[in-house]
Amino acid sequence: MPRIYLAGPDVFRPDAIERGARLKWLCAEHGLEGLYPLDNRLPPGLTPAAAARWTLEANIALLRSADAVLANLEPFRGLEPDSGTVFEVGMAVALGKPVWACFAPAGDLRAQVPHGADGRDARGWLVEDFGLPRNLMLACSWTGYDATPEAALAGLARHLGV
């Protein structure tokens, strides 16, 4: 059964544990095995620094063991997605693993980021104009995109031939 790493800021949600259980249940419905970062059980008694490093290594090991990644790229504390998730997408692409993105549709970056007639934001920084809903490094490297995890897992299952 293909193993799907469930990347997203979901681990920070108030209902993080229930959210993971639901995503894993959705995976199972599609013949996939969901791998949720919070499945890694932090050993007790670690310092904050050691706990953070342990979590990095456990998450990377889980990602390396996966066949594909579901990436929740919804905006997180601003207009960009969660950086932990984006880091994992970059790793997955480097490792040749397919990534399926999900987030609610909000148009392309020009539609999402307020900008002037010159295509620049309030600080004068250019807003990408490729008609893509995320930075091109994400939107040109993911294998597929859907608005919801339900649809994304269905797409990923089709892609993996399940």
Output 76 or 150, the one with its CB closest to a copy of itself.
Answer: 76
Output 87 or 144, the one with its CB closest to a copy of itself.
Answer: 87
Length of the chain: 162
Longest Cα separation, the chain: 55
Query: Cα(109)–Cα(56) distance, rounded to whole angstroms?
Result: 30
Query: Cα(65)–Cα(160) distance, rounded to whole angstroms?
Result: 16
For residue 6, list its beta bridge partners: 70
Which residues lie near a copy of itself (CB under 8 A)?
A: 9, 11-14, 16, 48-49, 51-53, 55-56, 59, 73, 75-84, 86-95, 113, 120-121, 124-132, 134-141
Q: Report the nearest approach of a copy of itself to the CB of residue 162 (Å).
A: 25
Output 55 or 159, the one with its CB closest to a copy of itself.
Answer: 55
Q: Report the nearest approach of a copy of itself to the CB of residue 159 (Å).
A: 19
Query: Cα(156)–Cα(36) distance, rounded to whole angstroms?
Result: 16
Q: Report the nearest approach of a copy of itself to the CB of residue 31 (Å).
A: 27
